[in-house]
Amino acid sequence: MKTGIVGLGHLGKIHLKLLKELLEFNVVTFFDANLSVIGEITKHYQIQASKNYEELLSVVDAVVIVTPTLTHYELAAKAIKQGKHVFIEKPATLHVAETTKLAKLAREAGVIVQVGHVERYNPAFIVSRDSIKNPYLIEAERLAFYNVRGTDVSVVMDLMIHDIDLVLTMVKSKIKRISATGKALVSHRADIACAIIEFENGCMAKLTANRISQHNIRKLDVFQDRTHIYIDLLNKTSTVTDILPYSNSQSGNVIIETGDHQAKYELHTNKPMVNPNNAIKMELLDFYKSIHERKPISVSLNDAEAALMVANQIDEQIH
C-alpha cells in the first residue's frame, strides 16, 4: 500500500522504521517542516521528500500522522476528504468536537481511520484481558522522566490518556462522575494529575500521571471479586491472584484465616506467559488489515472520542 508519513520527530522515526520493515507498506514519500530532518531521512532511507503535505497526499493511498496534537485535525481532515486512509497518533485531536467531525468525514468518504492508542497492544495487557471480567476498582499509575516533546499538551493528554483508554475498554458501563486535581510545575500545562472516574455499575478507577518523576512506572492494578490482576505495562509482565476456599492441597499457596478461625482461604498466584511483540508494528499491521482484509478497526475514532471526552473533562477540572 502506497503510504506517506508526516512528522518525523522521535516517534515519527520509529513509525517510519517499522513501516519499512512491513511488506504490506510501501513508503513512497514523507513530509516534515524541519529541513535538517528531511536531509537525514532522505539520506538514510532513500525516500523522496514531498515539497508540502498536499504533494504527499497526491501520491499515496494512506498517510501516517505523527505530528503535534494541535495539527492532527487539519492534516487528517485534508487526507480523508481526498479519500486517503489515515493512521493518527494519540490523542486523535485536541478537542472532542474535532474527533467527532473526523468520524463523520471518514464515514462519508468510506475510508479507514485508526488512532494510535498503543497500550492496547501491550503484550502484558493482551495476556491479562481474558481474566478481566467485572472489575470494581482499577488503579493506574504512569510516571515518566521529563521530556519536552510532550509539553504541547497536558500530562492528561500526553500520558494519562493511555490509561483512560484502557479503563474504558475494561469497564462496560457509563460514567457517573469524574473528579480530578493536578498542577503545572515546569510547563504551562498540568505536569502531574490524579483523577477518579466513577461508573454507574459501581466500579471506580483512580488514575495518576506524572511527567516530572524520577521513576519510570506504567502499571495497572485491577480488583474484582476475589481476584487481583497486576499488569506491569513497562516490564511487560502480568500476575493474576485468586482468593479461593482452602483445599488442604499443601501446594505452598499463601493461607488466609478469618479472625474467628471459621474459614480459610488460599491465594493462588498465576503468571501468564507473555508473548513479546512490537506494539507499534502490530497496530500498523492492524491498520493495513482493516483496509485490505476488512478487519474491524482496532482503535476507532469513536474509541478515541470516548477517551478524549474523559481527558478533556479531567483537564477542565484541573484548570
- The tens digit of pLDDT for each residue in 113-147 reads 999 999 999 999 999 999 999 999 999 999 999 98
- Please tell me the predicted confidence (pLDDT) of residue 152: 84
- Please tell me the predicted confidence (pLDDT) of residue 261: 61
- Please tell me the predicted confidence (pLDDT) of residue 147: 86
The CATH homologous superfamily to which domain 120-276+309-318 belongs is: Dihydrodipicolinate Reductase; domain 2 (3.30.360.10)
Q: Residue 67: pLDDT above 70?
A: yes
- Please tell me the predicted confidence (pLDDT) of residue 254: 67
Apex CA 259: angle with CA 255 and CA 262, to 5°?
75
For the four alpha carbons of 40, 41, 47 and 51, in that order, the dihedral sign comes to negative
> What gap in Å lies between CA 4 and CA 274, rounded to an integer?
33
Q: Residue 262: pLDDT above 70?
A: no
> What gap in Å lies between CA 14 and CA 2, rounded to an integer?
18
Q: Show contacts of 149-152: CB within 8 Å, 24+ apart.
A: 149/9, 149/10, 150/211, 151/187, 151/188, 151/189, 152/68, 152/69, 152/70
Q: What's the mean pLDDT in 277-284?
A: 98
> What gap in Å lies between CA 126 and CA 142, rounded to an integer?
18
Q: CB-based burial of residue 1 (10 Å sphere; 0-12 exposed, 13-18 middle, 19+ buried)?
A: middle
Q: Residue 28: pLDDT above 90?
A: yes
> How many residues are present in the chain?
319
Q: Residue 149: pLDDT above 90?
A: no
Tell me which architecture the domain covering 2-117+280-299 has in CATH: 3-Layer(aba) Sandwich (3.40)
- Please tell me the predicted confidence (pLDDT) of residue 150: 72
- Confidence grade of residue 249 (pLDDT, cut at 50, 70, 90): low
Domain residue extents for the chain: 2-117+280-299, 120-276+309-318
